[in-house]
Amino acid sequence: MSTIDLEKFSRYSRPGPRYTSYPTALEFSDDFGYDRYLEYLEQGKGPLSIYVHLPFCRSACYFCGCNVVFTSKREKLSEYVEYLKREIDILAQHIDTKREVIQFHFGGGTPTYYQAFELDEIMEYLRSKFPNWSEEAETSVEIDPRFFNEDQMKVFQKHGFNRISFGVQDFDPRVQEEIHRIQPYETTKAAVELARKYGIESINTDLIYGLPYQTLESFQRTLERARSLDPDRLAVFNYAHVPWLKKTMRKFDETTIPAPEVKLQILQHTIDYLTAEGYEMIGMDHFAKPEDELFGAIAKGELHRNFQGYTTRGGANLIGIGLTSIGEGERYYAQNTKNMNEYEEAIDAGRLPYERGVELNDDDLLRKSVIMELMANFSVDIPRVEKEFGIDFADYFADALEKLKEFEEAELLSVTPQRIQVAPTGTLLIRNIAMPFDAYMNKYEGNKKSFSKTV
Ligand code: SF4
């Protein structure tokens, strides 16, 4: 990648969505009602991707943007397992349970805050209700190396888990202290070795840049330590500083958070370093070895972006189970409540704990297709979009194409009648490049508290 003009790039730093969904979660509301949601579930066809949210953590990492419940009471965890099972029962009344499950993910929270027998209980129950589990299912879990033992690993092996994502964030002791997550390198190394011992095919480590006290030099040391673990994939996320939404982020002294120019330097360096080490960049924040299945998917235009990042399993309906989880069908997003009392009340009343969502109209579907193609493949195949949606691209997206001119003039992308192609340096600004296609962005213009910054 050529050297980027840091001053020019940092001018693009502005609030913007990460586009794990389109429309974004800010558009979710109760206009999309419960009965309509049930209709979609009941009419759904084809393969399923299932996400189970285990929201509990022992203590807060101050950078964390997840929906988490902090507790040391084990009985809360076991109560929640009972509710999950009942939620699965209700779901099974509204979904054709013969549909094939081709993807499963445990997220959180800290899924491995649960003991092995509880994780086993959830998996056994889910698989008894959704028995058509593909032998090739991509089955994955997020693991905090500080809470991980061999008994849990045996449960994951028993249920065919083939991907593990280890949360690391940063190895630097000063940064770890500031973010309230002390995790020695040896702890992470032991966790990765345990997963390898049990034959896990794909090991991912998650890092975050933009955290307090990070510098280019300190992050380089983190990258080298992460590299020494030889992960198959690395996710290197841009820290989303949203203290108006997350109280723990207010604990940071904002003057210690790296400036946009420093973040860009770190990102550029990360790309250069990992590329030199044999990894290739996928989408805006993932790196993988060239033999990874994600590359084959890029070549075929089959790489997709969803709430778990990048995936090759794009055609499946996503069913979210548990507090705050999000489901996705072709024409809707549906989110469960974030409030534990409401979650339990809904299930006690025999209802799904659905709270809000959005039903996509034809314009949303079209824009989603363009934005997700940009986010996943850094390009848009214009004839494909025209054929699939029956539009004249130049006419329909005249405004967006006008807004892309500034990126074109800066040689960050090119536009021809056939294709929008983002240049390698433009990939660092992919969120900015996608935003002109977002019909809802105008609503948030000038509202600094809508999204995290793009740079
Ligand atoms: S980063 Fe993980 S362990 Fe830390 S608070 Fe968030 S979910 Fe919990």
Q: What is the pLDDT of residues 55-67, one digit of tens each?
A: 999 999 999 988 8
Using CB distances shorter than 6 Å, the residues near ligand 1 are: 57, 60-61, 64, 66, 68, 108-110, 144, 167
Among 349, 351, 343, which Cα is nearest to 325's? Answer: 343
In our burial notation (b when 16+ CB lie closer than 10 A, e otherwise), range 195-211 reads beeeebebbbbbbbbbb
**Where does the pLDDT of residue 311 fall: very low under 50, low under 70, confident under 90, or very high at 90 and above?**
confident
Determine the distance separating the centroid of ligand 1 and the alpha carbon of 2, expressed in angstroms: 35
Q: Which atom of ligand 1 is nearest to the CA of 57?
A: 8
Determine the distance separating the centroid of ligand 1 and the alpha carbon of 202, expressed in angstroms: 21
Which residues lie below 8 Å from residue 102, measured CB to CB, with a gap of 6+?
47, 48, 49, 134, 136, 137, 138, 313, 316
In this predicted structure, the answer to whether residue 304 has a pLDDT above a threshold of 90 is: no
Determine the distance separating the centroid of ligand 1 and the alpha carbon of 166, expressed in angstroms: 11
Write out pLDDT tens, residues 30-63: 999 999 999 999 999 999 999 999 999 999 999 9
Give the residue-averaged pLDDT of 97-110.
95
Determine the distance separating the centroid of ligand 1 and the alpha carbon of 62, expressed in angstroms: 8
Which residue lies with its CA nearest to atom 4 of ligand 1?
Answer: 61
Task: Identify the pLDDT of residue 199.
Answer: 95
Determine the distance separating the centroid of ligand 1 and the alpha carbon of 217, expressed in angstroms: 25
In this predicted structure, the answer to whether residue 206 has a pLDDT above a threshold of 70 is: yes
In this predicted structure, the answer to whether residue 250 has a pLDDT above a threshold of 60 is: yes
Q: Which atom of ligand 1 is nearest to the CA of 109?
A: 7
Determine the distance separating the centroid of ligand 1 and the alpha carbon of 144, expressed in angstroms: 8
Pocket test for ligand 1, best of 64, 143, 146, 324 (most atoms within 8 A of CB): 64
Pocket test for ligand 1, best of 77, 110, 112, 248 (most atoms within 8 A of CB): 110
In this predicted structure, the answer to whether residue 454 has a pLDDT above a threshold of 80 is: no
In this predicted structure, the answer to whether residue 25 has a pLDDT above a threshold of 80 is: yes
Give the residue-averaged pLDDT of 98-125.
96
Task: Identify the pLDDT of residue 45.
Answer: 93
**Where does the pLDDT of residue 294 fall: very low under 50, low under 70, confident under 90, or very high at 90 and above?**
confident
Which residue lies with its CA nearest to atom 1 of ligand 1?
Answer: 64
How buried is 409 (Cβ within 10 angstroms: 0-12 exposed, 13-18 middle, 19+ buried)? exposed
Determine the distance separating the centroid of ligand 1 and the alpha carbon of 216, expressed in angstroms: 24
Write out pLDDT tens, residues 144-186: 999 999 999 999 999 999 999 999 999 999 999 999 999 999 9
In this predicted structure, the answer to whether residue 227 has a pLDDT above a threshold of 60 is: yes
Mean pLDDT score of the chain? 92
Domains defined along the chain, listed by start: 1-23+362-455 (1.10.10.920), 25-321 (3.80.30.20)
Pocket test for ligand 1, best of 56, 59, 61, 62 (most atoms within 8 A of CB): 61
Beta bridge partners of 280: 288
**Where does the pLDDT of residue 428 fall: very low under 50, low under 70, confident under 90, or very high at 90 and above?**
confident
The residue ranking higher by pLDDT, 120 or 6, is: 120
Determine the distance separating the centroid of ligand 1 and the alpha carbon of 110, expressed in angstroms: 6
The rounded distance, in Å, linking the Cα atoms of 15 and 454 is 6
Which residue lies with its CA nearest to atom 7 of ligand 1?
Answer: 109
**Where does the pLDDT of residue 7 fall: very low under 50, low under 70, confident under 90, or very high at 90 and above?**
low
In this predicted structure, the answer to whether residue 446 has a pLDDT above a threshold of 70 is: no
In our burial notation (b when 16+ CB lie closer than 10 A, e otherwise), range 30-55 reads eebebeebbebbeebeebbbbbbbbb
Write out pLDDT tens, residues 339-363: 999 999 999 999 999 999 999 999 9
Report the percentage of the chain scoring pLDDT > 70: 95
Give the residue-averaged pLDDT of 421-429.
87
Report the percentage of the chain scoring pLDDT > 90: 77
Determine the distance separating the centroid of ligand 1 and the alpha carbon of 57, expressed in angstroms: 6
In this predicted structure, the answer to whether residue 448 has a pLDDT above a threshold of 70 is: no
In this predicted structure, the answer to whether residue 301 has a pLDDT above a threshold of 80 is: no
Pocket test for ligand 1, best of 53, 62, 68 (most atoms within 8 A of CB): 68
Q: Is the whole-model pTM more than 0.75?
A: yes
Tokens representing residue 376 in the block: 């996943």
In this predicted structure, the answer to whether residue 309 has a pLDDT above a threshold of 60 is: yes
Determine the distance separating the centroid of ligand 1 and the alpha carbon of 377, expressed in angstroms: 29
